Amino acid sequence: MDVSITPASSLNGAVRLPGDKSISHRYGMLSAIAEGPSTLHNYSTGADCHSTLNCMESLGIAIERDGTDIIVQGQGLHGLKEFAGILDAGNSGSTIRMLSGILAGQQFTSRIEGDESLARRPMARIMKPLAEMGAVISARDSSYTPLVIQGRKLKAIDYTSPVASAQVKSCILFAGLYADGVTTVRESIKTRDHSEIALEGFGAEIKVIGKNVSITGGKPLTGRELTIPGDLSSAAFFLVAATMAKQARVLITGVGLNPTRSALLDFLVGGGANIKIQDIRSDGGELTGDLLVQNAKFQGGFVDRDLAAALIDELPVLAVLAATSENGMTVRDAAELRVKETDRIATVAENMRRMGIEISTFEDGFHVPGKQQFQGAEVESFGDHRIAMAFAVAGLSATGQTIVKEAEAASVSFPEFYNLLNHLRG
C-alpha cells in the first residue's frame, strides 16, 4: 500500500494511542505463565504484540480478544504445552528474544522463527546467556532464525550484558524464573525497566539495585488485571509532527511516562519543544500522563552513550525533526540502529536524500545539518514501521506530495497511525 502525504501547516485535536508495545509483550507473556486469568486493557493493536499472543496460543494458552481487552488464561510456570509446529514471531524481535527465555526453561523443545527482517537480526546475544543457564539452542550460522530451543532445568547465572538491550535483559530474567537460585543481570547502560515492573507486579521475587537486577527462580506468578498506557514511542511521531508544524495544538492522552523511556521528552523539551505533561498517574507501577504539544522552534542536539540507548526507537523521527531544526543533530554510539527491523542508519539516510536532505552517516550514527527543507518525493518504508511513520511526518512539512511505499509497515506497532494523522490535520 502506498500512502500519499500532502503538506499540512496545522495539526489540531486530541488522540489516544494504542497500548505500549514493550509493555504489551511483557504482560502477554507473563500472564500466560502466571496462575489464573489476567485481564489486559488497552493491549497494543500492533501486529508485533499479536505475534506474542499467537505464540502463547500455540503453546496451549487460551486467549480471548475483545478489541483491545485481552483475557489470558494463565497456566502457571509449567503449564505451557509443546508445539509441534514452528512458533511464528512475525516481525517482532521482542517476541523471539523474550519468549526464548521462557522456552529455555520448559521441559520440551521449541522451534521459533519470523519474517525476512527478523531472519537478519542477531540472536547470539540471547543464545549465549541461555546456553550458560543450561539450555541447548541451535541457530542458522550460530545466530539467526530459525532457533531450536531445547528447554532444560536452568541454572542461575550472574551475567554482565555486553549490549544495551532490554530484550536481552528480559530474556535472561524470564529464564531466571525457571532457574535454581538467584539470576542477576548487570547492565552498563540502564535500559527500559518494564520487565522488572511487570515481574514485580505478577508476584516474582525481584530486586533492582542500580543497573543490576536479580530474580529468584521457582516462585509462581499470579494473574492480574492491568491497563497498558499509550505508547510513548508512537506518540513520538505526533510530538515531532506538531513541533515542526507552523501551527499545532495536539493533546495525546494516557501516554506511558516510564522514566526509562521518557528521555525523549527531556530531549525534545531541552531543545525547545513546547510539551506540557499533565495529570500524571500510575497503573500497575507504570507512570501515565497526558501530553499537550504545540509548535515550537527546535534547536537540535547531540546524542551519544546512554542517551543513544534511551532514544533508540525514536532516532528515525528525531532525524526528521533535526533537518528542520536550527542547529541539526549528531548521533553517535548508536550502532544498534543497524540491527533493528532495518539498518536504520542506512534507511533513514536513503529517504532523507530522496527528500533533498543532506545527511552524513557513520558506522555508529549520523549527522543531519539544520535549517533544511524537505522536498516531496517517493520514499520507502523498507518494511520498517518506524521508517514508514518517520517519513510520513517528513512529508507533512515538505514542498509537494510525498509517497510512502509499503506504508502498511506502520501496523507492526501502530495500525491507527495514518487515520489519527488525518484526524489531526482536520
Residue 376 CB, nearest distance to ligand S3P (Å)? 29
User: Which position among 24, 117, 161, 165 is part of the footprint of ligand S3P (CB under 6 A)?
Assistant: 165
313 binds ligand S3P (CB under 6 A): yes
Please say whether the beta carbons of 200 and 230 come within 8 A: no
Residue 225 CB, nearest distance to ligand S3P (Å)? 22
Nearer to ligand S3P, 205 or 336 (CB): 336
Nearer to ligand S3P, 93 or 254 (CB): 93
The values of phi and psi at residue 254, to 5°, are 60, 45
Least Cα distance to 246 among 13, 424, 11 occurs for 11
The values of phi and psi at residue 120, to 5°, are -95, 0
Site for ligand S3P in 328-357 (CB under 6 A): 336
Gap between the Cα atoms of 142 and 140, Å rounded: 5
Q: CA torsion, points 203, 205, 209, 213, in degrees to nearest 10?
A: -90
Segment near ligand S3P (CB under 6 A); pick from 140-148, 165-173, 280-288, 361-369: 165-173
Segment near ligand S3P (CB under 6 A); pick from 34-42, 166-174, 270-278, 372-380: 166-174
Can you state the percent helix, strand and coil of the chain, rounding each to 5?
A: 35, 30, 35
Site for ligand S3P in 242-271 (CB under 6 A): none
The values of phi and psi at residue 59, to 5°, are -90, 15
User: Which position among 44, 45, 75, 94 is part of the footprint of ligand S3P (CB under 6 A)?
Assistant: 94
Q: Of 48, 231, 313, 384, which residue is the catalytic one?
A: 313
411 binds ligand S3P (CB under 6 A): no
Active site residue 193: no
**Cell 532464525 -> residue:** 145
Residue 158 CB, nearest distance to ligand S3P (Å)? 20
Residue 93 CB, nearest distance to ligand S3P (Å)? 6
Which of helix, strand or coil describes residue 210? coil
**First CA to last CA across the chain, in angstroms?**
22
Residue 268 CB, nearest distance to ligand S3P (Å)? 18
Beta bridge partners of 183: 215
Gap between the Cα atoms of 245 and 174, Å rounded: 43
Which residues of this chain interact with ligand S3P, rule CB under 6 A?
Answer: 22, 93-94, 165-167, 170, 192, 312-313, 336
* Residues identified as active-site: 313
